[in-house]
Structure 1
Amino acid sequence: MNRIRAWFLGPAGVYQVLRLALPLIISTGTLSLVLFIDRTLLLRYEGAAMSAAMAAGNLYWTLVCLPFGLVSMTGAFVAQYVGSNQRHQVGKLLWQSIWFALATVPLFIALAIFTPWFFEVTGQPPELLRLETIYMRILLIGAVGSVIEMALSGFFSGIEKTQTVMWVSILSAILNIVLDVVLIFGWGPVPEMGIVGAGIASAISFWFKAILFAGLIWFQADDKIYAFRSGCVLDLPRLGRLLYYGLPAGLQFVVEGGGFTLIVLKIGALGDISLRATTMAVNFNMIAFIPLIGLSVATSVLVGRHLTESGPALAQRAVASALSIAVLYSATWASCYLLFPDQLLLLYRLLEMDSDSEAAIKLARGLLGFVAMYVLFDAIQLILAGALRGAGDTWFVLVGTGICSLSAILLGSYFQPESGLLNWWWWVITGWVWMLAMVMILRFLQGRWRSMDMVGKNDPIPPVEL
């Protein structure tokens, strides 16, 4: 009984992890809700628009996730500064993240110029290419805002004020959904814009979150403790340290997101119905997956703080607690995918649909079985990858993800059958997630993460001087 009580209520127990993670789970859950509603509204407007939003949205994430993933390490850095009693370094770190985000403007302009080429080279059907291109270009207008809000939200995650992140995300989600309805279908003097309206709504919400986080930090956070105003300088050594640990985190997102996007584009080359069915299944997968990103972020923060504050024992206990929550949550969703697929897909049948959408729903029912097979493993790899990043083991996470992703794509392409290609690529996705989970489990058990420190206290990597 005492062990159960310690597991649930003790330091780094389930309750303590949930206290930090629940607002982040709700926060990332709002993102999955927004994406789900966004694509469902586009299906109601035009089936091809939903397919285009799926393909272009995945490509957008792949192209921007390098800077996005890099600044996502801000939360782990802040946690280690707090754990090592160096809060006065936090402001300067945040400014390095902001300078980096602003430096990505030329990159996003270049990506917008070459957007049509990305879709042409992957063999997208002509009826989707135009929609994909315009949606992608509009999203890129909000890309810098998205990178900045990710960096600034890391401050609140790192000091464990995750409720702030939750409320900002909820407000942003409400704004995005309202704008979706108004801009997609039109209202009053606002004409219907379809997929263009969906893109504008997303871009506005990206910048809304960035501005709101900046205002909260500037007017409410204690400058005497965190030194925001005096930290408004370009600190090349500190920026170099952020790049050293953040670059592999960003590249990992590129590799993982790129692998998934490549598979989705291959499925898109099979035709609109296959891509539409995949979009439907992935929408429900997002409901299970995206909230776990919040739990993964919380795990990174707890591992970072405990490693510098009290040592690896509590960090390991926090990971075990997070895994318990993740497995229970994902197992619940796996049961729903297996037992109630028709009930889940009923939402799409409530819409006015064409015959292609009806055919896609029949395919999506079978695809939910694949999601059920890998969702538990996806939860495990996500939590353990977050723990390793929180400790600073970002280069291994990159290499491990790269090997698994490349293996999945190459094996899938080499052994590709002549028929049943949709199911074949979903088997590739399932095997890929299984490989990722095994690699992260083995690395975590190996234990090198226990002696890491990103902020210079016990860091085996010398400070990076530029």
Structure 2
Amino acid sequence: MIPALKEVLRVAVPLMVSTGMFSLVLFVDRTLLLWHEPSQMGAAMAAGNLFWVCVCVFVGIASMTSAIISQYIGADQPKRVGQLLWQATWFALATLPFFLLVGGLGESLFRLTDQPEHLIPMQAAYFRILMWGGAGEVLQTALSGFYSGTHRTRTIMLVSLASGVLNLVLDVFLIFGVGSPDPETGLRFLELGIVGAAIASSLSFWFKGVCYAVLLMKPSEREKYGILRGIRLNRRMMKRLIYFGLPAGLMYVTEAGGFTVIVLQIGRLGDVPLQATTMAINFNMIAFIPLVGMSIAASVLVGQHLIRTGPGPAIRCVIAALCVGWAYSVAWAIAYIFAPGGLIALYSLSPTGVDSEIAFEIAEKLLGFVAIYVIMDATQLILAGALRGAGDTWFVLLAGLVLSFVAVIVGTVWQPVAVRFQDPDGQAGALLALDWWWWVITGWICTLAIVMAGRFLQGKWQRMRMV
């Protein structure tokens, strides 16, 4: 077990740092927006979720490059890696027209979900600009799969750190501007608020894609992996990428879609519940997103060991990944339970209004829900990654689709009943509805973990192959 633990840590730690940097950027991005204008943070939360729903199916397809490349390496077929990367690149660039079209429909989409009228212009602007970076996010996901699939995750960490620093610097300048306020408008030069935050994020997406493309052109990489020789469209390989990647992408979209519907339902309760939810989810992301790196590590290690050494070492790697993930999650659960005030206090470093003060109090209570499900979230994420690494992507999709649908239906149908049962006079209905939706989220994640564990223990994944 010790060798498996060392192997997991060697692959996973840089990936956890990389994805952790992404969560830190999101956290700082939304905190800066809170300081600039509290309502902008809630608008960015809803618009950012919708952005992810629109791009995640394509990101999911592109993300399968890591697992497939790991199996090519395990099967001693490195020359096919270049072909796969080019198919993923053409796929990523082909998504750009679609993303721009959807971005132009942002305002109509938010009106359909009955969002507060004063938030819709901010949500639409943020969403529209983010969609310009959607293809860049798909491209960087595809190309980074080369480095995770070949276990050179340190490169991913360094590129992510550089991108994160760029994003944070752009955030500060483009949200708050520079210089003294203009006497007429009261705005500083380049003070763009939520628009500036969207521009910073889009530029950082493309920055990462360009970095990986430049690194892949090194002579050693071009020769060993056939980078330039694979430039032509290979329909068979493109179909394989889409076949195994589509379930992963649809799994992302079902989970993200369900979560976005819940956040939009919370947004209908008012600014304060939405602000409180955004604060709690931001701290949830700091714990959750680094575990995506552990999930990717489990995926590539399972994929390579199944081809090269068999299911035994693959199982040991998954157990090691779970142990690390649980230890990391327990540390965050303790912080959520015993120090919620200290965490939420980070949002109050800048002067805020009365509504924000109320939101701070509510957010502290919501961290209690996060403490309940954070360990189960780590479990479902790592086991789903292991199943995808073996090629069991369609089960992961079906389970996610069914459970997401059930969570949204149960939450929508039973919310009025739950609120009336606890508050027959309707005086505190919004806060009771908020609690109800957070119980729905908690139950949803715990059920996902149970289903993924059952599938993993069944063992069918041990006989699957993607190459």
Normalised TM-score (structure 2): 0.94
In the alignment, structure 2 segments of 5+ residues that lack a partner are 180-187, 420-428
Letter paired with 2:316: R
Per the alignment, residue 284 of structure 2 pairs with 285
Q: How does 1:287-302 map to 2 (within 5 A)?
A: 287-302=286-301
Partners of 1:46 and 1:54 lie apart in 2 by 13
Q: Is 1:237–2:228 an aligned residue pair? A: no
Q: How does 1:10-409 map to 2 (within 5 A)?
A: 10=3, 13-188=4-179, 190-219=189-218, 221-409=220-408
The RMSD of aligned alpha carbons is 0.9
Aligned amino acid, residue 447 of structure 2: M
Q: Distance in 1 between matches of 2:448 and 2:114?
A: 28
1:366-394 residue CA offsets vs partner (Å, 9 max, x unmatched)? 10000001000000000000000000000
Q: What letter matches 2:262 in structure 1?
A: I
- Structure 1 residues 323-353: Cα deviation after superposition (integer angstroms, max 9, x where no partner): 0000110011011100111111111122211
The equivalent of 2:443 in structure 1 is 431
The alpha carbon displacement at 1:271 in A equals 0.5
8 Å Cα contact 1:152-1:214 kept in structure 2? yes
Quote how far apart the aligned CAs of 1:237 are. 0.6
Partner SS, residue 118 of structure 2:
helix
Assess if the C-alpha contact under 8 Å between 1:249 and 1:394 holds in 2: yes
| Offset at residue 412 of structure 1 (A) | 1.2
Alpha-carbon separation, structure 2, partners of 1:190 and 1:452: 57
AA in 1 matched with 2:349: L
Structure 1 runs, 4 residues or longer, greater than 4 Å off: none
Which residue does the alignment assign to 1:445? 457
CA contact (8 A) 1:156 1:165 kept: yes
Whole-angstrom distance in 2 between the partners of 1:110 and 1:140: 9
CA–CA distance in structure 2, aligned partners of residues 349 and 228 of structure 1: 50
Aligned length: 446
Once residues 20 and 220 of structure 1 are traced to their aligned partners in structure 2, the CA distance between those partners, rounded to angstroms, is: 24
Aligned 8 A contact 1:182 1:190 in 2: no
Identical-residue share of aligned pairs (%): 53
Q: What residue in structure 2 maps to residue 462 of structure 1?
A: none
Q: Distance in 2 between matches of 1:177 and 1:85?
A: 41
* CA deviations over 1:226-274 (Å, ceiling 9, x no partner): 0010000100011001111000100000000000010000000100100
CA contact (8 A) 2:130 2:202 kept: yes
Distance 2:234 2:227 in 1: 13
Query: Which deviates the most, 48-57 or 103-112?
Result: 103-112
Q: Distance in 1 between matches of 2:291 and 2:189?
A: 37
How far, CA to CA, are the matches of 2:271 and 2:62 in structure 1? 35
Shift of 1:307: 0.4
- CA distance, structure 2, for counterparts of residue 137 and residue 117 of structure 1: 12
Task: Quote how far apart the aligned CAs of 1:118 are.
Answer: 1.3
Return the offset for 1:168: 0.1
Distance 2:222 2:24 in 1: 35
8 Å contact 2:96–2:132 — kept in the other structure? no
Q: Name the SS for the 1:20 alignment partner.
A: helix
- Structure 1 unaligned regions, length at least 5: 1-6, 456-466
**Contact 2:130 2:201 (C-alpha < 8 Å) held by counterparts:** yes
Q: Decide whether the 8 Å contact of 1:184 with 1:194 is kept in 2.
A: yes
Give CA deviations for 1:423-454 in whole Å, capped at 9, x if unaligned.
00000000000110011000000111101110
Summarize the Cα distance change of 1:355–1:401 in structure 2 as closer, same or farther, 3 Å threshold: same
Other-structure match for 1:458: none
Contact 2:39/2:119 (<8 A) preserved: yes
What amino acid does structure 2 have at the position aligned with 1:243? I
Task: Tell which deviates more after alignment, 108-117 or 86-95.
Answer: 108-117
1:20-54, CA deviations, whole angstroms, 9 ceiling, x for partnerless residues? 10000000000000000000000000001111001
The aligned residue for residue 421 of structure 1 is 433
Does the Cα contact within 8 Å between 1:296 and 1:383 map onto a contact in 2? yes
CA–CA distance in structure 2, aligned partners of residues 348 and 145 of structure 1: 30
When the two structures are superposed, what TM-score results if normalisation uses the length of structure 1? Answer: 0.95
Q: Deviations over 1:265-303 (max 9, x none)?
A: 000010010000000000100010000000100110100
Separation of aligned partners in 2, 1:146 and 1:329: 27
1:39–1:220 distance in 2 versus 1, CA, 3 Å: farther
Report the counterpart of residue 410 of structure 1 in structure 2: 409
Give distance in 1, aligned partners of 2:223 and 2:172: 44
Residues of 1 paired with 2:189 and 2:91: CA distance? Answer: 36
